[in-house]
Amino acid sequence: MEEEKSEIVDSSDPGQFFHSMQKRRLGSSELELTTIGIGTWAIGGGDWAFGWGDQDEREAIVGIRKGVELGVNWIDTAAIYGDGASEVLVGKALREIPESERPLVATKCGRIMQEDGTVLGRLKSESVVAECEASLRRLGVDCIDLYQIHWPDPDGDIEEAWTAIAELKKAGKIREIGVSNHGVEQMERLQPIHPVASLQPPYSMLNREIEEDRLPYCGEKGVGVVCYSPMMKGLLTGAFTRERAQALSDKDHRSRDPKFTPPQLDLNLEVVETIRPIAEGAGRPMAQLPLAWVLRRREVTSAIVGVRKPSQIEQTAGGGDWILTEEELEVIEEALRIRQEKLVALGDTSQGWV
């Protein structure tokens, strides 16, 4: 079974790589999030177009609980992850955690599972309301802390969906409302209806598109940023190899992602080997380095890390307090510059899938 996992180390001492868990305010909202968030995309299983392969349910629940024990105070999920399967597991985990220790929960709407496992975008008001009610039931909560439009698809309906979500907030079913995978122009269209609390985009060393426009915009407008795939679906953890990429299951969507096949795969792994000494020199797992890198930007509130089992969060939780030096950042920048030059020389400048 393939999964986004961190470097294999002795985890007999779960706190060996853990430092103090930092918090940052989510933009202008009332929420304060730890700089590391628990991601649950992968625990939705493999029976849909963007699945990650089969998942052991108990391992997922124990992984979530371990993250909370280590101080992570929020979980990110979505209705589409396994057609509700991820939310169900999050709900089971929440019921096993004492109420006083329960983390904040963020989830999303606007993606509908088809019978063949493909995904359809739907943002009509009645659909958004029905999705919210279904998420509340699966999660076993009375109020969702952060509710987001998953994708602006179809684009023409984002205002209708946003209006419905604002009404759900007014009704007390949602605390804060945000968007995922939206551009600046789309957020600008929504702001007059209700302020956008947060944006959830993909952001990593290997996908820096948001640095051009969305990060500056969010910083200026007080929109929080919670980035997903900061470890580029496992590529930047230090544990990924060419052999693992070749062995990915057909149920794992990464087997169809250009970043996981040559020539991009080889160049991405070269980056990891070039910057690995930074982690070794700091006495930290390689998996913490890409987290520290995205969190170097003050616009970023939190980095979401996939948790399929407890050993993963044991290694990544400490990445939220690591402040990289200018020299370390320069080494990373040079490695990324060389990668980009080689991609251009190969005629391959695509970003690949998020």
Q: What is the β-pairing status of strands 111-113 and 119-121? A: antiparallel
Angle between helices 264-282 and 326-345 (to 10 degrees): 170
Alpha-carbon separation of residue 228 from 14, 283, 322 (angstroms):
24, 25, 18
Candidates 81, 203, 217, 228; catalytic one: 81
**Residue whose pair of structure tokens reads 């709407």 in the numeric block:** 109
Tokens of 14: 């779960």
Return the SS3 of 200.
strand
Q: Where are the alpha helices (DSSP H) in the chain?
A: 57-69, 85-95, 125-139, 158-170, 184-190, 214-221, 242-246, 264-282, 289-294, 310-316, 326-345
Is omega for the bond preceding 263 within 30 degrees of 0, making it cis?
A: yes
Alpha-carbon separation of residue 22 from 145, 243, 280, 296 (angstroms):
19, 36, 22, 13
DSSP state of 252: B
Task: Give yes or no: 228 in active site.
Answer: no
**Under 8 Å between Cβ of 322 and 20:** no
Q: Which residues are catalytic?
A: 81
